[in-house]
A and B are shown apart, each in its own frame.
Chain A
């Protein structure tokens, strides 16, 4: 299953609200996770089951979608939110990731 994220990069300002989309090449129900990765660090899980927030993740992050089309929305962008974001399907093997979306400060 191929996962396609868009955009590949995104520039936004502090306080903005942004949405990253992820499309699966076939239906994956809601077996979709989102990760945040900062330079030199391990990825951090934000959302699983398409819309369930991981414990400790602020509610400014939200996930949506089912089937083939999914979104990650981040509200009120702060400096610590600028990072690379990946989607991942875990519906079937091989598990696959999107190519990543680099969120940069405008």
Chain B
């Protein structure tokens, strides 16, 4: 059974940093691209970033370029999103997903950026 278990959210002040994680099981993690999607309170889905299987290619939405870094540790079947210089508008539930088309999703984790 494919499972994606997320951790690491919380409250952070504007300008601060936070890393969220997504531990995968039930499939060969290294074979799949992995995606981050976020959803601001009461809003729709917004794609954030993707990393290729093997980690040699990464892409970001414009609003997070230079501030967020996606990475993966295939030895630990874990995906990361390191978020720096956080802004109030980054407040959202962050979801990880398998593949570019996100056929499986994590449970979501709330990141709140507020003073």
Q: Is the CB of A99 within 8 A of B102?
A: no
Known A42-B106, A42-B108, A43-B95: A86·B101 in contact at CB below 8 Å: no
- Does chain A have a CB within 8 A of B100? yes
For the complex, give the distance between the alpha carbons of A17 and B96 in Å. 32
Q: Is the CB of A33 within 8 A of B47?
A: no
For the complex, give the distance between the alpha carbons of A4 and B46 in Å. 14
Q: Is the CB of B44 within 8 A of A94?
A: no
- Does chain B have a CB within 8 A of A45? yes
Q: Is the CB of B102 within 8 A of A33?
A: yes
Interface size class of B (residues with CB under 8 A): 20 to 34
Tell me the nearest residue of chain A to B107, going by C-beta.
A42
Tell me the nearest residue of chain A to B59, going by C-beta.
A93
Q: How far is the CB of A52 from chain B (nearest CB, A)?
A: 10
- Does chain B have a CB within 8 A of A95? yes
- Does chain A have a CB within 8 A of B62? yes
Q: Is the CB of A93 within 8 A of B50?
A: yes
B-contact bits for A26-62, CB 8 A (1 contact / 0 none): 0000010101010000111100100000100000000
Q: Is the CB of A42 within 8 A of B101?
A: no
Binding site for A on B (CB under 8 A): 35, 37, 44-47, 50, 59-62, 95, 100-108
Binding site for B on A (CB under 8 A): 31, 33, 35, 37, 42-45, 48, 54, 86, 88, 90, 93-100
Given A37-B45, A45-B101, 9 other A-B contacts at CB below 8 A?
A: A42-B95, A43-B105, A45-B105, A48-B103, A90-B101, A94-B59, A94-B60, A94-B61, A94-B62
- 10 tightest A-B contacts by CB? A42-B105, A95-B47, A90-B100, A93-B59, A33-B101, A97-B45, A100-B44, A45-B103, A90-B101, A94-B61
